[in-house]
Amino acid sequence: MKKGTLLILTGASSVGKGDIRDLLMEDKELHLFYSISMTTRPQRENEVDGKDYYFVDYEAFAQAVRNKELLEFAEFDGYYYGTPRKQVDFLLNSGKNVLIEVEAQGVGQIKLKHPDAVSVFVMPESIEDLEKQIYLRYNDDASANRRISKARVEMELASLFVHQVKNTDAKQAVSQIKTFVKEAMEKE
Ligand code: 5GP
């Protein structure tokens, strides 16, 4: 059976990856399956365990790392995030297209195992605009500052990505991403 295509979406915190992700998931042509990450971050009020993330404690996360159950993992703002390997492999081997959303450190680890994956870096309109979004989203200044520092570093990594899209308009960004994925689907 023809394998599915893997799409990795990355970019700084608060750059609007969530909106892009939601639109991509609605796309009937791409028919993407979302890879649900595991995290030690506390669950937010609007989040559902097993849909947005698998919320686990540190010990369960460490166990998953020891058992080599994660395709990649990284630390972000004091918490761990990782991509369970089994679900991604199962979906790809069943010919399904898979979407993984990760911070930039995770991308290299995934590409080592899936060199054909399409990785897309989402850029903000400007760094000033991104800072504004981060401060709006995080009431806690310390957390916002940490996310801004990391965003600055991540944006330095953007040039290493073949595919970059500017999130001026989510629909437009999605249409560009769709082109990249369709190209990869035709090649495979
Ligand atoms: P948040 O706490 O805002 O949901 O996510 C923080 C950051 O972690 C975001 O940039 C998000 O893309 C990233 N992230 C979510 N899941 C994973 C994962 O499984 N692995 C890695 N490396 N990053 C992740």
Residues 83-97 have pLDDT tens digits of: 999 999 999 999 999
Are residues 87 and 6 in contact, defined by beta-carbon separation less than 8 angstroms?
no
Q: Looking at the CA of residue 9, tell me the nearest atom of ligand 1.
A: 12
> For residue 13, how far is its CA from the centre of ligand 1 (angstroms)?
8
Tell which one of 6, 19, 81, 98 to mutate to probe ligand 1, the residue whose CB is within 8 A of the most ligand atoms. 81
State whether the beta carbon of 102 lies less than 6 angstroms from ligand 1. Answer: yes
pLDDT band at 188 (very low <50, low <70, confident <90, very high): low
1 CA to centre of ligand 1 in angstroms:
31
What's the rounded Cα separation, in Å, for the pair 3 and 183? 15
Match domain 6-187 to its CATH number in 3.40.50.720, 3.40.50.300, 3.40.50.1100, 3.30.70.150: 3.40.50.300
List the domain boundaries for the chain: 6-187
pLDDT in tens, 122-139: 999 988 999 998 988 887
Pair 44, 18: CB distance under 8 Å:
no
What is this structure's pTM?
0.94
